[in-house]
Each structure stands twice: as structure tokens, then as C-alpha cells.
């Protein structure tokens, strides 16, 4: 999709963090936005800034992406008040680090509902209209964790593996039917300043591993625009080149485990869990 000006996009998880940066970047391209998250007041703040700064239309719809009826309302209001949906950015997600043997069953179910079922349901709702118009793009925010293993993050890693697999399968189906509708995933590593890892940095005093580094939220947002414009299957967002390591880990899983150990991921997880146990 080369032209983004005057397209209509839904962005979930848009009230803060990476979601608000994606909204800013798309608004700068002239995209009209439907912003979804649970915090309506925070969404309104983001929306007012975008209206003033970029002159685009911005709709706010308080939405819990784990609730199917609320997703249906989000899609219907977007169509009624903005128009046909051209872009869907599935950004909302939950993340926890924990000792899995002590994890809460209900929280794991919520992780799956928000990170996997919600994006799939929302995709199912917008896809018929996109196919009818033969125009549209779905972007799923995944993670480097979706290619490998992050210690003490079983639920999160599972959901991000699922989103990469879902995106690849959906994209293959769309290509097989010759449609101009497409799907891509954006896979950040550690992101600084905002979002999940930034909160862990603040609360537990951890730093991203030197082997991986960290990316800015604006880099993630620009990757979203790039995969839409260039119709890329997936885009890894990380300052250090990691695809060779991912390939090695795929071919030799034990080598992948060794690389993860050397990267210091386990130390980060253990530090976060230790601090959170102390705080509780």
C-alpha cells in the first residue's frame, strides 16, 4: 500500500507506549485513526494531540481486546464514524516475567486472550471488508521473543510465537487467493523509554544486553509504516543484526540456548522476578 494519506486505521493499545508512537507516525502520514485501549482518558489525550498536530480525524473507542463484543463495537464505530477500514495495527499485549510453576491459571488465560485471541478476532472482523475492496493491511506487533526463548516468560513467548505463525499463515492465504490485502509482523527486541521493558528497567534496574542493545519506540513505529508500504513479511527492529543468530538457533537449538545464555537474558529475568517478589 503505497499511499497512506486519508486511509483509515485501527490501532489497539494506543493510549501509551509504542502504540501512541505508532499513532503519531501514522497521523504524520495523513492516516485517520481509531484509537483503542481500556483507558479512555489517556486515549483522549493522545487523540487531541494528533488532531492538533496533524489535522487528522481521530476516534477514541475504549476497548478491552479480550472482549469480543467490544471488538465488534470498535469495528462498527470506526466504520460508521470514519469509514472503511484500511489498516489494522494489533499492538495491545500483556507481558509478565514469573516462575511458571507458580503462575496463575487465570492470568495465563488472560495473556492468551489479549495477545492472541483478541488480534485474531479483530482480524476476522475487519478482513471481509478489506477483501471486498481488495485493499488493506494487517500489522501484528510481535517480538524477538517470538523467534526464540526468553527465560521466565513462558506465556509471553508463547503468544508472540503464535502471532508470528498466525501472520505468516494469514499472509500465505491472502497471497494464494491473489488478493491485494496483506499482513505483516513487526518484531522489536528491547525497546527503551516506553513500554514493557522500559517499565522493567525502572522497577528492577535492569539494562538491555550489550549483544542486543535497544531500539527507540519511534524506530518500531517507522517499521510499521515500512512493512505496510513495502509489503514486507516481517521486520525485526533491533540495533544489532540478529537474524544470523536466529538462523543458527533454528538449525542448532542447543547453540541457540548457549547464545541466549551469553546474551544475559536469564540474568535480566531473574533480577526482575527477584525485585517483584520483594515488592509483593
**Would you give the DSSP letter of residue 210?**
T
CB 13 within 8 A of CB 186: no
Count H helices, E strands: the chain? 11, 7
Distance CA 88, CA 123 (A): 8
Scored b (16 or more CB within 10 A) or e, 118-141 reads bbebbbebbbebbeeeebbbbbbb
Question: Containing H/E element for 154?
Answer: helix 154-176
DSSP string across 100-135: GGG--HHHHHHHHIIIIIHHHHHHHHHHHHHHHHT-
Q: Which residues are catalytic?
A: 156
Q: How big is the chain, counted in residues?
A: 280
Q: What is the DSSP letter of 78?
A: H
User: Quick one: cell of 206?
Assistant: 535492569
The set of cell numbers assigned to 134 is: 481488495
Residues 6+ apart with CB under 8 A from 107: 96, 155
Amino acid at each position: 500500500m503505497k499511499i497512506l494519506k486519508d486511509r483509515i486505521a485501527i490501532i489497539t493499545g494506543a493510549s501509551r507506549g509504542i502504540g501512541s508512537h505508532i499513532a503519531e507516525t501514522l497521523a504524520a502520514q495523513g492516516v485517520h485513526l481509531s484509537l483503542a485501549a481500556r483507558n479512555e482518558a489517556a486515549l483522549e489525550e493522545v487523540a487531541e494531540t494528533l488532531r492538533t498536530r496533524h489535522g487528522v480525524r481521530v476516534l477514541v473507542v475504549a476497548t478491552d481486546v479480550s472482549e469480543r463484543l467490544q471488538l465488534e463495537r470498535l469495528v462498527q464505530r470506526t466504520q460508521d464514524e470514519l469509514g472503511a477500514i484500511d489498516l489494522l495495527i494489533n499492538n495491545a499485549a500483556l507481558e509478565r516475567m514469573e516462575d511458571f510453576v507458580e503462575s496463575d491459571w487465570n492470568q495465563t488465560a488472560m495473556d492468551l486472550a489479549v495477545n492472541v485471541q483478541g488480534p485474531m478476532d479483530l482480524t476476522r472482523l475487519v478482513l471481509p471488508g478489506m477483501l471486498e475492496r481488495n485493499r488493506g493491511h494487517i500489522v501484528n506487533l510481535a517480538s524477538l521473543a517470538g523467534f526464540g526463548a526468553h527465560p521466565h516468560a513462558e506465556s509471553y513467548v508463547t503468544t508472540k510465537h503464535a502471532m508470528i505463525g498466525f501472520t505468516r499463515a494469514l499472509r500465505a492465504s491472502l497471497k494464494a487467493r491473489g488478493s491485494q490485502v496483506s499482513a505483516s509482523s513487526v518484531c522489536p527486541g528491547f525497546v527503551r523509554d516506553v513500554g514493557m521493558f522500559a517499565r522493567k528497567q525502572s522497577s528492577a534496574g535492569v539494562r538491555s544486553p550489550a549483544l542486543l542493545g535497544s531500539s527507540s519506540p519511534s524506530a518500531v513505529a517507522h517499521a510499521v509504516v515500512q512493512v505496510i508500504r513495502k509489503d514486507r513479511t516481517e521486520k525485526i527492529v533491533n540495533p544489532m543484526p540478529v537474524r544470523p543468530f536466529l538462523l543458527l538457533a533454528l538449525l542448532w537449538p542447543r547453540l541457540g540456548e548457549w547464545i541466549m545464555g551469553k546474551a544475559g537474558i536469564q540474568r535480566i529475568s531473574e533480577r526482575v522476578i527477584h525485585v517483584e517478589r520483594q515488592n509483593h
